[in-house]
Amino acid sequence: MDKIKWVKNEMPKTEDKYLPLMNQENMKKARKFHKSFPQYSETPLVELTQMADYLGLDDFFVKDESYRFGLNAFKVLGGSYAIANYVAERTGKDISEITYDTLISPELKQEFGQATFYTATDGNHGRGVAWAANKLGQKSVVLMPKGSTKMRFDNIAKEGAKVTIEEENYDECVRMANDLAEKDENGIMVQDTAWDGYEKIPTWIMQGYGTMASEAGEQIAKAGKRPSHIFIQAGVGSLAGAVIGYFSNLYKENPPKMIVMEAQAADCLYQSAKAADGKIRIVDGDLTTMMAGLACGEPNTISFDILKNHTDFFVSCPDWVSAKGMRMLGAPVKGDTPVTSGESGAVGMGLIATVMTDPNYKELKDQLGLTSQSDVLMFSTEGNTDPDNYRKILWEEE
Ligand SMILES: Cc1ncc(COP(=O)(O)O)c(C=O)c1O
């Protein structure tokens, strides 16, 4: 069995210029926008008290994104908010004037005209972009990497998008989608990652994810707790940058311990942290992991800056960690609410359980400072987005 690897973040700190992107004021704007959707409701923050007891923690909270907008994953928060900001900018409005109803109104459509949104995706982001484009009466083109499953393809095609599965990995699909968008005079690239020169849209996407983080922040406070540890998974790291950025702003003094987890096959942030010089490392190749949402080998440049300054540990997790987490959340300790958590959603559960119970990882447990006083928060970022594989892992695997 491959081992979990970890590294303490000792990368040099920067001036931290991106942290204010995730401040309270920006989160309020994103939240207000998402609240205007008829599909909106806060997703549950599930308190697994029996599980906490079993693992030897004080409390354990799981944000369950399988309930998000009927789309089974958090991702739509980013794409929809980026598209709304783009429409606002193009029509000379402030984002605070834009609601779901204004966005779908014939008046706005006339003012804005016709556009095609291009993107690359492992599944969830593309589904969110296609869904938002469809609602707005706009077109979308979605490129998926080699190995993408039929179910994820069908869910995007259902939203009226032109979808293809390419013979390339995720990062290459991003480049291909960007080329297509550049060649189309009405084309706009809506990608969930940033690179030098492409920062505005991914910033809006990260702020859109802030809706999830700020809900969780409020929900945990309502439960009378303050997280001591936050575990968040990363593909390109936009999500991790958003969540860690939000909580670093919220708890400026004495922030919780922040832990970023990746699929071992695509652990570009872990590799960057291991090199410790503050420069990005890229992981190339097929990036084969069942954690499809985490199969990205090139970090988001904005998010990387936030992560450098505010992450405590980077952890590289083999697939078994996630499979274990899926089973544990699906069938937790008696008395706790089950959470349907997919391949990219459950890695936090598998990691926390392993660290708390397996003596081979005692050193990591000690370094993280996980004790019976710890109040742990993790994000189950997707439900069973690939139902066949979900069933196989929970019901059939030996
Ligand atoms: C379910 C799920 N969780 C986590 C992530 C990771 O997000 P990011 O690529 O921003 O790191 C993704 C990305 O697609 C995802 O689909």
CB under 8 Å to 15, separation ≥6 — which residues? none
Identify the sign of the CA torsion 315, 341, 121, 257. negative
pLDDT digits (tens, 9 = 90+) for 39-61: 999 999 999 999 999 999 999 99
Does residue 264 have a pLDDT over 80? Answer: yes
Pair 142, 126: CB distance under 8 Å: yes
C-beta of 301 in contact with ligand 1 (< 6 A): no
What does the pLDDT read at residue 261?
Answer: 98
| Closest-lying ligand 1 atom to the alpha carbon of residue 296 | 9
* 94 counts as catalytic: no
C-alpha torsion sign, points 351, 299, 239, 72: negative
Residues 165-205 have pLDDT tens digits of 999 999 999 999 999 999 999 999 999 999 999 999 999 99
Letter for the amino acid at 132? A
β-bridge mates for residue 230, sequence order:
258, 377
312-343: pLDDT as tens digits: 999 999 999 999 999 999 999 999 999 999 99
DSSP strand pairing (59-64 vs 45-47) = antiparallel
Instruction: Please compute the mean of the pLDDT values over residues 249-254 and round it to a whole number.
Output: 95
Distance (angstroms) between ligand 1 centre and the Cα of 295 equals: 9
Looking at residues 108-127, what average pLDDT do you find?
93
With a 6 Å cutoff on the Cβ, whether 319 touches ligand 1 is no
pLDDT single digits (tens) 123-132: 899 999 999 9
- How does DSSP classify residue 178? H
pLDDT > 90 fraction of the chain, expressed in percent and rounded: 96
Choice among 59, 64, 122, 319 that is catalytic: 122
Cα–Cα nearest to 323, from 390, 277, 238, 232: 390
Query: In the annotation, is 75 catalytic?
Result: yes
Q: Would you place residue 136 in the very low, low, confident or very high pLDDT band (cuts 50, 70, 90)?
A: confident
Looking at residue 398, its pLDDT comes to: 64
Mean pLDDT in residue range 90-109:
92
Rounded to an integer, what distance in angstroms lies between the CA atom of residue 265 and that of residue 250?
A: 32
Residue 77 neighbours by CB distance under 10 Å: 31
At residue 52, the pLDDT reads: 98
pLDDT above 90: residue 233: yes
Report whether residue 71 contacts ligand 1, using a CB cutoff of 6 Å.
Answer: no
Spot the catalytic one: 63, 75, 257, 308: 75
The token duo for 176 is: 């291909």
Beta strands in the chain (DSSP E): 5-8, 45-47, 59-64, 116-120, 139-144, 162-165, 187-189, 229-234, 257-263, 313-317, 375-380
